[in-house]
Amino acid sequence: MMAMTIEQAAKAVGGELCVGLTPADSRIEKVVTDSRLAGVGSLFVAIAGEHVDGHRFVGQVYHSGAVAALVDHEIAGAEITQIVVPDTIRAMGLLAKANIEERRAFDSPFTVVGVTGSVGKTTTKDLLKALLSTRGETIAPVGSFNNDIGMPITALEVNERTRFLVAEMGANHLGEIANLGSLVPPDIAIVLKVGVAHLGEFGSVENIQRAKSEIIRALVPDGVAVLNADDEHVVPMASIAPGDVVWFGLGSGAEVKAYDITADGRDRAGFTLSLPGHDPVRVQLAIPGRHNVMNALAAIAVATREDVPVDEIVRVLGEQTAISPHRMTVFGLTRAGVSFTVIDDSFNANPDSMKAGLDGLAGWSVDEDGVAPFRVAVLGSMLELGENAVELHRGIGSYAARLGIDAVIGVGSRNDAQLDSLASDFIEGIDGDDETTRNKPFVALVHDVDEADRLVLDLAREHENTVVLLKGSHASGLSALAARWDANDDLPTGSDATDRNGEAQ
């Protein structure tokens, strides 16, 4: 972070300073929210969580070298100097704001790129970090740290040497992006897509559109809006842009545009990139998922604006295989003597990203021995969709069948009736869809990930070249199954495990 003393930090957050054994003019080196990460020069922000209240650790962090604690009530007897505020999360946001203002006042170029959208933020952030890092030190969030805790944590890493900050801004309520944008106003703001993620919380697509447009309103004067030209809900945001608008997409309205899109047998997309003032150039993405063409275009729009040469863009995107975990991560697995391929897209789910994941699975073609894939979709329920949830789940079941997916396993829950019922709606969507009845996939409803694990093994034993997509909301537990498979941990035991898994016990 930028040079800041405890006293200055207290002023920035409007807190009351309770000076302990650390002098008020001690410099803060970094900000942590976890006492286990506190070290010399740390400011520890105490946050009350679901399991423990971070205030419990205020007494300890002094002994790890921390210089101050941000608290919502004074901890009596603690040696460390404390800054007392009404709300520590809010205060951490104000500290991040002060950090960015300090950086802007420092005499060297610095650019904040804000990224929002219903899908693709983290992927775009990862691609952007790789591209902008070729021009200067770039800070970007860990994973999808995109809320009022994660974004300030990221912004507080900015120091004198930082050239770019990529700030991911997420929301499931109106006003959240406005808040993030007021803390860290972007110089460039990307709006990827207005979809239906968190439709239940937002109430309507129009509200999602309003929420995403908050990032444009938060732009600095003359800030640049990078907008999806193909999304009817994003296009109107140009009317509130304070400066230049850069359009990306596949249609005629785009200036940063992809055409002649192809995909290899692992669904890695290639496309011809058209950029104003440049000859068309071929780009091959190293990450799977045709949907990532749009994310790549948004990142390219910013990169070209920041003078990353086109040949560098082509090279970086062609080499960038790693994005944040559980997003279309592909790995092979031999489990209980059975080999299959996993596409782990289990970070979360909504109808747009479910379709993208299923498209990715459908995009797999014959293996090197010419064996056609047996494509299995293991789908957990999608949460936060409100009154449209049943219909949207049925629509996904029917979408999977129409893509020709060979097997659909809905993963419900023994403990959560809503998760269980929505998972069964995937199957209902297939059963009730006349257009798919002639070519129906194998379908099954299971009630926990152990059952899904065993069933996938059965299918993979029967079918050579089985490819399995894992996709569901966080609460569906599929990311835990992905982690279990990645580590190739033991098979679950269960009443029928011996029969099903034979030698695996």
Ligand X SMILES: CC(=O)N[C@H]1[C@@H](OP(=O)(O)OP(=O)(O)OC[C@H]2O[C@@H](n3ccc(=O)[nH]c3=O)[C@H](O)[C@@H]2O)O[C@H](CO)[C@@H](O)[C@@H]1O[C@H](C)C(=O)N[C@@H](C)C(=O)N[C@H](CCC(=O)N[C@@H](CCC[C@@H](N)C(=O)O)C(=O)O)C(=O)O
Ligand Y SMILES: C[C@@H](N)C(=O)N[C@H](C)C(=O)O
Distances (CA, A) of 193 to 69, 85, 249: 39, 37, 11
Binders of ligand X among residues 46 to 65 (CB under 6 A) are 47, 49-52, 54, 57
Residue 119 in contact with ligand ATP, rule: CB under 6 A:
yes
- Which residue bears the tokens 């994941």? 357
Tokens (6 digits) for 300: 């390219």
CA gap 296, 320 in Å, rounded:
11
Residue 357 in contact with ligand ATP, rule: CB under 6 A:
yes
Query: Pick from ligand ATP, ligand Y, ligand X, none: which does 269 bind, CB < 5 to 8 A by kind?
Result: none
Residue 474 in contact with ligand Y, rule: CB under 6 A:
yes
Q: Which stretch binds ligand ATP (CB under 6 A): 207-215, 342-350, 379-387, 430-438?
A: 342-350
User: Binding string, 123-162, against ligand ATP, x = CB under 6 A?
Assistant: x--------------------x-x----------------
Binders of ligand ATP among residues 252 to 311 (CB under 6 A) are 291, 294-295
Q: Which stretch binds ligand ATP (CB under 6 A): 11-19, 214-222, 277-285, 351-359?
A: 351-359
Distances (CA, A) of 4 to 27, 67, 101, 193, 504: 6, 12, 12, 38, 58
Is 493 annotated in a binding site? The answer is no
Among 254, 328, 382, 457, binds ligand ATP (CB under 6 A): 328
CA gap 217, 179 in Å, rounded:
11
CA gap 73, 217 in Å, rounded:
35
Residue 344 in contact with ligand ATP, rule: CB under 6 A:
no
Tokens (6 digits) for 411: 């993963």
CB count in 10 Å sphere of residue 34: 12
Residue 233 in contact with ligand ATP, rule: CB under 6 A:
no
Residue 150 in contact with ligand X, rule: CB under 6 A:
yes
Query: Pick from ligand ATP, ligand Y, ligand X, none: which does 123 bind, CB < 5 to 8 A by kind?
Result: ligand ATP
CA gap 208, 246 in Å, rounded:
21
Q: Which is nearer to ligand X, 145 or 164 (CB)?
A: 145
Residue 351 in contact with ligand X, rule: CB under 6 A:
no
Binders of ligand Y among residues 352 to 411 (CB under 6 A) are 383-384
In 5-156, which ranges are continuous DSSP H helix?
Answer: 6-13, 58-61, 88-105, 121-132, 150-155
Say if CB 195 and CB 350 are below 8 A apart. yes
DSSP assignment string, 97-136: HHHHHHHHHSSS--EEEEEE-SS-HHHHHHHHHHHHTTTS
Residue 476 in contact with ligand X, rule: CB under 6 A:
no
Is 123 annotated in a binding site? The answer is yes
Among 33, 353, 398, 465, binds ligand ATP (CB under 6 A): 353
CA gap 279, 269 in Å, rounded:
20
Say if CB 328 and CB 482 are below 8 A apart. no
Is 122 annotated in a binding site? The answer is yes
CB of 118 to ligand ATP, least distance (A): 7
Q: Which residues bind ligand ATP (CB under 6 A)?
A: 117, 119-123, 144, 146, 170, 193, 291, 294-295, 327-328, 345, 347-348, 352-353, 356-357
Footprint on this chain of ligand X (rule: CB under 6 A):
33-36, 47, 49-52, 54, 57, 118, 143-147, 149-150, 153, 170-172, 197-198
Annotated binding site for ATP: 117-123
